[in-house]
Structure 1
Amino acid sequence: MDRKARVTRKDVAQKAGVSVATVSYVLNHTKTVSEEVEARVKEAARELRYQPNLIARSLITKRSMHVAILVDNLNNPYYIKLLEGAQKLAAKKGYIVALMLQDHLNSENLDQLVSRQIDGLVVTTQKWKGIYERIGSLIPCIGPQDYSNKLLIDYRHAMFEAVKTIKRYGHRRVAAICGLEQGTDDPRICNLREALENEGMEVDQELFIWGDKDSETTVTKGYQAMDQLLKRGREFTAVFAMNDLMAIGAMRCLREHKLRIPEDISLWGCDNDDRDEDLQIPLSSIDVAPKSIGEELMRMLLAEIEGSQVTEKTIRGVFVERKSIGVCKH
């Protein structure tokens, strides 16, 4: 199929009856012209379907207008919402967003981000340390509190509310299925321990089920962690799951062991997936507004790229109680 020749600024200038320089002033917003001239140039550009040569522009501006966002995978709806928020803001600013998955990433891919002149990277994966250390000094990188200290995801208030609710229903023995490798300094688990201690409840390390070095927090890992917890034979009546996917896996395991939710075991997760209300037993969860997280991370990245001040932001989680939590009957 034959393609039409690319429309240039010279073509726009001829149609609008102005100089090429004037077209540049209007389209780049670099110099003020009369409203009448500006309108003619924009109308000519629209009629000719003019598209600027971003490659040529990048040689001048030193920006590609292309950023990337790295997530673990797309199995977790949390990342879908986060991407939606990030993409929405980037599009408003004229940036294209490339999506990269940690599950299919190698060190060569990271190096290619720099060589392809990506303007910056939003990192949301659990394995951020090696990534940040490898390219953080080469291109702007922004992520949650663990490494950039720009955006704080505050689970503490919501976790305290969850534990208060559990205690009010009579629960005293609380377990956690973590998914992450033991020793990971995750704020959700830290806040859970703090909340239990604050309410005078025992923190039994044998009731904390950790993952392996892959730090996967999937439905399958939730099922396996709950199965491991039950096999330990220690008493518990309530469980926190690192995210809603793990909570769903835990639900399946409990059903197979003929344990009822919440009559036998109360359960809550984190992320407040849209599907939580539609589960057979609606899942209690901590909502951290992932779409807002995506927007804030992208706002901070673009500010850093453009040399603006990056203001810090805290997003506070909210505990959403549903029918997966009930009165302790043991």
Structure 2
Amino acid sequence: MAVIKAVSSKAGIGQAIDYVTKEEKTEEKLVSGLHCEAETAKEEMQATKELWEKTGGRTYKHFVQSYHKDEKITPEQAHRNALQLAENTPAWKGFEVLVATHKDKDHIHTHFIVNSVNFEDGHKLQWSSADLRELKERCNAQSQEQGLHVPEKGKTFEGAEREETVAWSKDTYQLLKQAEQGKVKSYVQDIALAVLDCKEIATSRETFIRLMNERGYGVDWQDSHKYITYTDLAREQAGEKACKIRNNKLEKYYNMGFGKEELEHEFERNARTAEVRAGKSERTAPRTEPTEPDRAGEQPAEGSLSFVERELRGIDEAVKSRTSKGRAEQAERRRTEQAAHQRAEEERRAVRERQRTASERHISRNWEPER
């Protein structure tokens, strides 16, 4: 019997990786990297963030797959199962994932640390409740195929109600647990998650507000007000008084930045990344060469008119010269940028190929199929 949980934590990605890769927690170092080397996962994930200028905000996603203590399964098999799940999770395509299996407790369990930034195109990880549900369904199907037990929907190993979210921080854990039990209004947690998701893709205040509106949340963001007020529009329309919350309250509950400054910094980073991904096409687009005025049939005049004609011709030639030079410079810049882009792409392909080969070699060397 196996269950999968999403883990919420205030710990940094480096601390999370250090924790799950401790030698005393892993059986024969059952640690593997998907799209990265297990030994250098921390450095590779950080390099990806710096490459796409997305070092802030949510830095990773953490999941745990756990087996019941009485389940007849070896650590090696549990690790292979976890790798199979990771490799076939659509939302993790293009993301570095560290997979570490532990046997330091009375049950075997595997940690997944998923980088929040895609190494292929730089977009932030989008993870929904539907994605988690699909992952759990594949976990159950995997258990059925191997003749293992499948937990009752919504239940833990012992038959109690399953908690969908856990956290390393005791305070955060209690707050999230209270929300799940209804002691804290659930709309507060829904708004917090919506803000975290929308700020990772928005490039401006206007875009952020639009994205929040599309999710059903109003955003009162005024320069004359110190705080941002978020509103659950459905609850407001239903006449519910408890439907609004300020960003400072969210910060108190979750110990994260939900204020104007934090959001605007994230928007700036997203905008810079969008500019890089667009290849700065607007600045490198060739300009249209002005055409020479059509003066067919124009008869040269005497005196001042012939002088004007000569001046016009001189201006035309100067324009042609500057335009030709400008186009040559643009063409050279484009060639330089294309060559640099090609070299970078070749380097990324080489890195990915080395990672894939090393990962396959590492797995085949340490985990032979059970006979």
TM-score, with structure 2 as normaliser? 0.20
More helix by share: 2
